[in-house]
Chain A
Amino acid sequence: MDPYSAEGELINIHSAFHQGQYQEVVNFDTSALSSENAIPARVLKLRAQIALGQARNVFDEVKGESEPELQAVAAYAQLSLGKTDDAVSAIEKLTAENSDNATVQVLGGIVLQAAGKSDEALNLLGMHQGSLDAVALIVQIHLQLNRSDLALKEVSAARRWAQDSLLVNLAESWVGLRVGGDKYQQAFYVFEELAQAPSTSTVFSLVSQAVSELHLGRTEEATAALEQAVQKDPEYSEAIANMIVLSVITGKDPEEYVATLKKVKPNHAFLSDLEEKSVLFDKAATKYHPKITA
């Protein structure tokens, strides 16, 4: 039986992880779990720790471990520490022998994708045997490659065998935000449900809700949700990044948030992208001159 399924032992910790409740995951009592679920639960805990910014500790913890799962976690931790090349080579080594290990697939997929090796990542993840984590990653990678058609296909396939799973709902919403139209509203419902229930409300879900509202053109609601998120975690970079976008859309000055973002996550995509475009602008602008300069 799939330990992550509704009846499985890991459903709670798994859901918590994917709702961004990382501290809850770390605090999760795993002592009662059956032995075969111990490793996956530990992996989830370790991933949550990494997500909470404790990659160094995690790496130290699993450095010498022999289980492929933990080795994958080690590689993933390295990635989080910025040692992308080391992470990739570790993963490549690992996948050569353990390509059918679900954890290796998922973490390997993340590492490879993060290193820009989307094809390899997709190949690795494509070997999954009914792992929703893998599906979600595949969907995300497809979306990052702007192949929403493939993403949609992946989601609808998954929906067939894992109908009501949280991850499928999330993945579908991710696709929905690309597709737009009615799908915006559907995605909003999914995120809102998570964000508004006290037990599942996290910065993660609040930001997701805000993003869907933003796409729906409901700027006021989006602002409220984002402010809530910023309140929860003033250093959550996605909340700040989206706050910038929202400020710009509503005609406000985003400088304050830009400064904050520069502080919390100087390498955020928004900033690097903006920098890149700024350079591009300057370069492009040089092509034009008035005939006569005063």
Chain B
Amino acid sequence: MTSSGMLTKFESKSSRAKGIAFHPKRPWILVSLHSSTIQLWDYRMGTLIDRFEEHDGPVRGIDFHNTQPLFVSGGDDYKIKVWSYQTRRCLFTLNGHLDYVRTVFFHHELPWILSASDDQTIRIWNWQNRSLICTMTGHNHYAMCAQFHPKDDLVVSASLDQSVRVWDISGLRKKHSAPTSTMSFENQIDRANANQTDMFGNTDAVVKFVLEGHDRGVNWVAFHPTMPLIVSAGDDRLVKLWRMSETKAWEVDTCRGHFQNASGCLFHPHQDLILSVGEDKTIRVWDLNKRNSVQSFKRENDRFWVIAAHPEINLFAAGHDNGVMVFKLERERPASTVYQNNLFYITKEKHVKSYDFQKNVESPTLLSLKKFGSPWIPPRTLSYNPAERSILVTSAADGGSYELVNLPRDGSGAIEPTDSRRGTGNSAIFVARNRFAILNTSSQTIDIKDLSNNVTRSFKPPIGTTDIYFGGTGNLLILTPTAIHLYDIQQKKSTAEFAVNGVKYVVWSNDGLYAALLSKHNVTIVSKSLEQMCTLHETIRIKSATWDDTGVLLYSTLNHVKYTLLNGDNGIVRTLDQTVYLVKVKGRNVYCLDRSAKAKILTIDPTEYRFKMSLVRRNYEEMLHIIRTSSLVGQSIIAYLQKKGYPEIALQFVQDPTTRIELAIECGNLDVALEMAKQLDKPKLWSRLSTEALAHGNHQIVEMCYQKLKQFDKLSFLYLVTGDHNKLSRMAKIAEHRGDFTARFQNALYLGEVEDRIQMFKEIDLYPLAYMTAKANGLEEECQTMLEATGLTEEELSMPTIGQPLKPPKAVIPTHKANWPTKATSQSVFEKALLGQMEGLSIEDEPVAANGFADDDVDGGAKDVMMAEGGDDDDAAGWDMGDDIVPEIESSFVNVDSTEAGGPASSEADMWARNSPLAVDHVAGGSFESSMQLLNRQVGAVNFAPLKPRFLEVYQASKTYLPASSGLPPLVNYVRRTIDETDVRKVLPVIPRDLEYLATNDLQRGYDAMKGNKLEEGLRIFRGILHAVLINAVGSDSEVDEAKKLISSASEYAVAMSIELERRKLGSNEAMLKDPKLLKQSLELSAYFTIPKIQVPHRQLALFAAMNWAMKAKNYSSALSFANRILANGQSNKISEAARKYKPQLERNPSDAIEIEFDQFAEFEICAASHTPIYSGTSFEQCTFDGAKYHSKYKGTLCTVCEVCEVGKSGSGLKLFA
């Protein structure tokens, strides 16, 4: 048997390797060498990670701890060393063995190390307290190997004394397990005694079985991971299998084959196989059940010394004379093929299954291929013929074989194929519905066969063909080590060739236009005619690949899923924790087969490659969609866009002005560039912008840049070429101011101003030049003056010939008036689409738009304006985009010396009016007109004069004066009530005398005035409260209610007080008593004074006054009613005492001397204007603001209470809280 199935994954070159250990998790292997070195390799990357050299002489035993970052080694220096691979040093040394240490192993859970030594002992050490805890004696020759049982408290050892021993170490475990707290005293005694008995020998570890059968020394021994089996290898060249029960152990069988000493052996961790190595330079694989040889691998020169298995994955390592090889016994890539929405694959049990990508379900077994090939060699490839629903399977067994079978229509269990056709061949693929191709590598022939397995055509492929793939209809892709060929089956010739090394797999794109060629470390994408699209290199092995529907190739390496576009842009999609074979991508799902041939779904985020793909295809809708829906913003994508030449798109992602300007200049978006340049204001940027703008012919921006850069010469020239004579003159003036003669001369030349030039020459004493200039321009008079001045005559001068006077050309077209016409749009579709999205962000000119609205304010309703601002913001903004930028630029162009674009902005006070629908905020902002308008609409305010103090009060409180630079007026700042707010669109002004203040101060003062009978003052105070509340703002809805209460309360007081004041105006009591008409009126008013809903103590005052007055006028009935009401209010003080006192007298005589219009039993309110009753049921009018009631005839008059609003004028109601 050949080594066909064995796959070497890693090989190292070194001196003789005596010990090997796999790391349980990482792709690491420790190798101990005969040269005293211990090597730590990454077998996946093939790199030497570390070397540990502290042993003296050969190191034979080595083991990783399965959880801690530790390993242990034992050597011919009798030492056992425990190392940390993290700190990369030896932690401590265990001394005790008296001869070579052969093997060392960690216990899988206890802190123990097991060692076997040539001193014939096997020892157990505790590596935590670094002590020897057990010495097992019994072997009477070198102990060559000793291993813990993976689960039980057993040890197995092998010795040159030809025996294998099994030891029971349960006693040792008992002794060293932690004592429990519930342990009784007796137990503790027992425990102590048990320790004492130790002195006689090995009660901790007792020999359980002695296995004799080898007739030479035994080199290695191992437990089976799950079954009660032991395998041993000895110098008798035999590998023996032993079985044990609770009570006995016996030899099962012998594997014969090694023809030199067998040095190592082990059980396959997952499969029923035994592996052994020997000095005959072979690795042999045995069937555990049949004990026959399954596979063998021979090395030419190197004797094998040791073999180790990875505990988890299908990997082995064998040490030999010149290093180590890591290998696996078989390919783990499940044979599979995808047809439309189905995946067909072969499981480890050699069952053919299918997987439906749409339903995400696995089919039952369709077919069993148990009998196909060798039992230990899995099928290699699978090809599917949908027309016939048949499959073509190849296997490496027997030098390559294939089988063609039909799949049953419905899977119903493990069915043996009934009708199959077989043959020899290394590769087999369907090339048409009724044809398949077979490659025979040894004979180098390709046969095309029909479905009855008859050869229809045969030809010789290019030399060295290793594999064949489908190559499109009528074509084969033929792989050789150095090239691939597109082979036309009909013409029997290669139609295209592409040189590429070591291609192992070919994956066609879903549309059949492209093929991905996978080699160990390279992916090459070619078109269907073998033109290379791109190629990329991976340092880690490439395992598989599959195409996205959009033409993105996803491929997997050992630990990543990556993507590549046709243009070679690639990136990582996700990481893998185990190797998988990709078969299909659908949306966010990647379907794959793992090494146990199970279909799995991995979720990925395809955003990145989809974005890049749509960029390549200029599919802007898709890009837009991705931008909108994903969070794909980052430096990398921006850098990518810029690198790929899409600065205009990258521009949309960037906020940072520096990057923005770079991108804007790159994509010629001058508007954005200008905006950013203004923001950053750096000479370098201006100069870049000027160059770019010049190229565009946008001389207005160029002009601005030159202004910023103070490049006067360039400016002058620009004005010259654009024909801007006016500005050129200004430049001349500026040059004069600057005292820059060169510039002045230049400008004069440009302007054709001869006099100025002459003048200048004269100024700098260059008379000859001045004279020449004058002469050349025919200014004889000037020449004469100069001659006279210098005292020379014309004859004394020698003049060159003077041609025509220089005349600067006149601009034919006033270019300066407008920019060079540029192509209408530099915006891509994408940009346009995106602008629609992003306009909200890029609005800076909102104030301008708002200004327009503010003007409307005067005419239209301010409230509506607020609404419009809120609602139509976006529309208005969309509009500004185009129109606002241009005028702004122009305005600054006019001013040559302008350093900053844009004039003054609106002050914060102006913002207040815009930010708020409250009258008070308009007042504070000084926008009296709009606030009046608001009040007029809200509460029907028509007479503002009484509000003037309040208006000015609020206005005065709005600004502070901060002294700044000496000599300039102080800086005005605007006092806010929104102290924490910095957004100028939200700030609001401070309000003096807010609601709380009014309630605690003014209201109390009003009450005091009432109590103190200072009614005029009280009336003033309450009116003041009304005015203050009218121009106010509150912070919440509940405060609005409070404000309303305050208003009505103040209103009632104002009415009450004005009634009493009116009564007092009638005259003195004496006078009234004399005039019955006055008296009647007076009595009525005093009665009405008791009606308004004022505070009870104050009402008592009113009632008391009314009672007294009524008594004086002998209106006892009325007086009685007042007395009753006083008593009903139930307060005990002077007033109620008086009432109580008078009441009996009044009751005796319940009649009124004067009939007054006051029905104590009727419900009525007092008209605030006429101070007469409004009985319930009669119609009345009200003041919208303070709620004072009026007879209907007063509609349209001024409210007497607040003196501001019109009675009966409807309004939306006072707004105090936005």
Contacts and interface: CB of A to CB of B under 8 A. Distances in A.
Interface of A: 17-18, 20, 22, 47-48, 50-51, 76, 79-80, 95-97, 99, 107, 110, 113-114, 118-120, 122-123, 126, 136-137, 140, 143-147, 149-150, 153, 157, 170, 174, 177-184, 204, 207-208, 211, 214-217, 238, 241-242, 244-245, 248-251, 254, 269-270, 273-274, 277-278, 280-282, 284-285, 287-294
A281 B951 contact: yes
A217 B961 CA distance: 15
A284 B1209 CA distance: 20
A22 B944 CA distance: 46
A136 B900 contact: no
A118 B968 CA distance: 12
A225 B331 CA distance: 88
B988 to A, nearest CB: 11
A96 B897 CA distance: 13
Contact of B945 (A249, A285, A292): A285
A290 B971 contact: no
Contacts of B941: 288
Nearest to B941: A288
Contacts of B971: 140, 143-144, 174, 177
A3 B1193 CA distance: 81
B933 to A, nearest CB: 9
In this complex, the member of B738, B959, B965, B997 whose beta carbon has the largest number of chain A beta carbons within 10 angstroms is: B965
Interface stretch (B6-14, B198-206, B972-980, B1150-1158): B972-980
Interface in B932-980: 932, 936, 941-945, 948, 951-953, 955-957, 959-976, 979-980
Contacts of A177: 960, 962, 971, 973
Contact of A245 (B738, B956, B979): B956
Nearest to B1198: A290
Nearest to A268: B961
Contact of B1198 (A47, A97, A157, A293): A293
Contacts of B960: 177, 211, 214-215, 242, 245
B603 interface: no
Given A245-B957, A254-B956, A287 B993 contact: no
Given A76-B967, A145-B904, A146-B904, A180 B976 contact: yes
B1198 A178 contact: no
A181 B980 contact: yes
A120 B288 CA distance: 101
19 contacts: A51-B967, A96-B736, A99-B737, A119-B903, A126-B899, A143-B971, A144-B968, A146-B907, A180-B987, A207-B963, A211-B973, A241-B961, A244-B956, A251-B993, A269-B970, A277-B928, A285-B944, A288-B932, A290-B1206
Contacts of B349: none
B385 to A, nearest CB: 73
A208 B963 contact: yes
Given A174-B964, A284-B928, A184 B979 contact: yes
A50 B967 contact: yes
B948 A216 contact: no
B961 to A, nearest CB: 5
A207 B963 CA distance: 8
B1084 to A, nearest CB: 21
A180 B968 contact: no
Contacts of A20: 963, 966
Contact of A289 (B943, B957, B1001): B943
Contacts of B968: 110, 113-114, 137, 140, 144
Contacts of B957: 245, 248-249
A293 B1203 CA distance: 12
A278 B952 contact: yes
B952 A211 contact: no
Contacts of B495: none
Contacts of B904: 118, 144-147
B975 A97 contact: no
Interface in B1189-1211: 1195-1198, 1206-1207, 1209
A291 B942 CA distance: 9
B217 interface: no
Nearest to A215: B975
B1197 A207 contact: no
B928 A294 contact: no
A115 to B, nearest CB: 11
Contact of A179 (B897, B982, B1197, B1206): B982
B936 A288 contact: yes
Contacts of B902: 147
Given A269-B961, A284-B932, A96 B737 contact: yes
Contacts of B857: none
B1198 A251 contact: no
A143 B973 CA distance: 9
Instruction: List 4 A-B pairs, minimum CB-CB distance, nearest first.
Output: A291-B1196, A145-B904, A181-B982, A285-B944
B1167 to A, nearest CB: 13
Contacts of A145: 903-905
Contact of A248 (B681, B961, B992, B1196): B992
A204 B899 contact: no
B913 to A, nearest CB: 14
A107 B968 CA distance: 10
Interface string B535-578: 00000000000000000000000000000000000000000000
B895 interface: yes
Given A238-B963, A245-B961, 15 more contacts: A47-B967, A110-B968, A114-B969, A119-B898, A122-B899, A140-B965, A145-B905, A147-B904, A177-B973, A182-B980, A248-B953, A250-B992, A281-B928, A285-B943, A290-B1197
B890 to A, nearest CB: 15
B1181 to A, nearest CB: 12
A219 B336 CA distance: 82
A178 B903 CA distance: 18
In this complex, the member of A18, A150, A211, A285 whose beta carbon has the largest number of chain B beta carbons within 10 angstroms is: A285
B967 A80 contact: yes
A215 B970 contact: no
B519 to A, nearest CB: 55
A68 B443 CA distance: 105
A153 B681 contact: yes
Given A238-B961, A288-B936, A290-B1198, A147 B905 contact: yes
Given A80-B967, A215-B976, A290-B1198, A249 B992 contact: yes
A270 B973 CA distance: 12
B926 interface: yes
A147 B984 CA distance: 12
Contacts of B974: 178
Contact of B970 (A22, A114, A126, A238): A238
Nearest to A123: B897
B888 interface: no
A270 B956 CA distance: 8
